[in-house]
Structures are given as structure tokens and as C-alpha cells.
Amino acid sequence: MAQAYTQETAQHPGDAPRPTGSRVRRLLDGLRRDRGIWRRGLVLAAIAVVLALVMIFHAEIPNRVGNLGSLLETFLPWLGLLVPVLLVLALVRRSASALLALVLPVSVWLNLFGGLMFADKSGGGGDLTVVTHNVNADNPDPAATAKDVAASDADVVALEELKSAAVPTYARALAGTYRYHTVQGTVGVWSKYPLSGTKPVDIKLGWTRALRTTVAAPGGRVAVYVAHLPSVRVKFNSGFTAGQRDDSADALGAAIAHEPLRRVILLGDLNGTMNDRALAPVTSQMRSAQGAAGDGFGFSWPASFPMARIDQIMVRGVAPVSAWTLPRTESDHLPVAASVKL
């Protein structure tokens, strides 16, 4: 039988393979004959619709229970990862309904974050380059971290989470690049240009974690604020604990609102993203340098696998022209930088 089959097939060596178009037609015919293609996967389709609605109306999700709204907004871009999961499941289920429903979350996600992912907004011509870095109080090598930050050649550097015992180490390491500096509590500024009007900013913590100073840049005076808002935690029994941070954000926003100088730059670890409604007292009156002139999300924490941008450079009265993250140091945060036009 095998010999006969070989001889028979060998009698037609010139037969051409069936065209790909015929395979596609057979597949489409099979789908048309599959009466359940629209009825299957309705649960997947519903999940896709709910996902789109959550992204559209994230600001309406209440914070009354465990600050759920702020927690969601902190990691909002990551909801996009559910789309390929739903796509695979829809293909496995051979569900036209689920595939069609996926258009909704894809469209919403692209509307929210497509500009960050696919548009390079960076330009040139900045007058002032600034860097902010939470150096981590438990940093094992402050001198190396300071040198890494100085290698950016920024005009102004803000450091947060400065341990008092490590301040002299940072000062020595940065002295060769930055002639002027001030440290208030656990935050500090190092600058190539003179500083004046320096004072701590009360953000309702009982100790100093924010300051305000004036930088006499060649393009004009700039009010620089440095802040390290309280940390937030996710706990099983209480949810997203951010009350102290939210109160500090209110106080910081009030201080910036009363700033007399037109040009203002805020540098620091705000322990929150630009999507987090709890930072509205600050974000409502300032622009994100990353959002205006960055390339990508610019996630800064945790340094080992950045998942959120909680280290912010925000401006008012100046124009961001580029924003980026710097290479990892010994800290658990990445340094972030921006160039602005005064």
C-alpha cells in the first residue's frame, strides 16, 4: 500500500501547492459555519468593557475604602498588560465578541498613554538642567552615588533622604562641581549658581523634609522647591495607607501657590504619580517635565524594576525641553533629570 501511494503521488510532480488565499477562504468559511462564534466568550467581552470603563473613570473610583482610587492610579498604565492576556483567551475561545470588545480598552489605553509611549517630545535649547534623586538613607556608598549624579553635569541637583551622618560625604563628593549648596533636614540642593532666600517648608510632619531656595541662574531667578513626601504602604487590613502623604501634599501645594517668583521648579520624591488625585494640590498648578518633554513613562521606582514614576520634576513659568532618567546608583530609586528653558 505504501509503495502504491508513493508511485501514485509521484505521477504528478508538477502539481502546484494550493494558494494561501484558498486556506484563508476555508478558514473564513469555517468561521461563518461556526454558529457559536459570537455567543462564546461573552464573559471575556464583559471583562474587556469593564477594563475600559475603569481606565476611563479611574478618577471616580472612591478613596474612602483603603484609598483604592489612588492605588489604582499609581499603577494605572500597567492595566494595559491585561489586554494581551484577554487577546490570547479570546483566540483560544474563538470568540468574535471578545475580540471586538478588546477594541475598547486598547483605544482608551492609547488615548491615555500613547503619547508617552510613541511620541518623542524631547528637544534642545534648554537653559537649565536639573536632577533630583532619593539617595536612600541606607545607601552603602554615598560617595559613589554623589559622583554618579555629578556626572550628569546638571546645573542644580536636589537630593532627598539624606542621613545627617552622610551629608559631609555628599558635600565633599559634590564640592568640585557645585560651588553652592544648602541642606535643610533630610533634603538638600547643590547648585552651580548662587542660592538665596533658602528656608525650610513645613509639610506637616514635625521635622524638615522640604525646602525652598532661589537659584540665580543666567536666564533669571528661579524658585526651587525640594520635597520628600511621606511614604505610602499597601497593607492587607487597611489598604493603601497614604493619609500622611496626602496632608503633606496639601501643605506643599499651599506653599507653592504663595510663591512670589514667576519661575518655579519642584524637585523631589513625592511618593505618588501624576495620575494620583491625592497630589492634585501640587499637580493642578504645575506641569510634569516628563509628561511635557519626556520619552516614555520614565519610571523611577523601584530601581531594580521600575514600575512607577514617583520621583518628579514639575515646573511653572518655565518650558521643559527634555526629560529622562539617569543610570542606576546605589539607591533604590533612579535619578531623574530635565532640561528647561527659562
Residues whose CB falls within 8 Å of the CB of residue 81, separated by 6 or more in sequence, listed in order = none
Is residue 45 packed enough to be buried (19+ CB in 10 Å), middle (13-18) or exposed (0-12)? buried
Q: Domain 128-341 adopts which CATH fold?
A: Deoxyribonuclease I; Chain A (3.60.10)
Domain chopping of the chain, boundaries: 20-118, 128-341
CB atoms within 10 A of CB 221: 17
Of the candidates 100, 110, 203, 214, which has an alpha carbon nearest to the alpha carbon of residue 160?
Answer: 203
The amino acid at residue 107 is S
- What gap in Å lies between CA 284 and CA 255, rounded to an integer? 13
Angle at 302 between CA 296 and CA 304, to 5 degrees: 90
Q: What are phi and psi of 323, to 5 degrees?
A: -150, 145
Of the candidates 338, 342, 341, which has an alpha carbon nearest to the alpha carbon of residue 130?
Answer: 338
Predicted pLDDT of residue 33: 64
Residues whose CB falls within 8 Å of the CB of residue 29, separated by 6 or more in sequence, listed in order = none
CB contact at 8 A, 184 and 200? yes
Predicted pLDDT of residue 122: 66
- Residue in the block written with cell 471583562: 47
Provide block-wise average pLDDT over 10 residues at a time, the chain (342 residues). 44 53 62 72 96 95 81 93 96 93 97 81 83 98 97 97 97 97 98 98 95 97 97 61 86 98 98 93 96 92 96 97 96 98 94
Predicted pLDDT of residue 295: 83
Predicted pLDDT of residue 6: 44
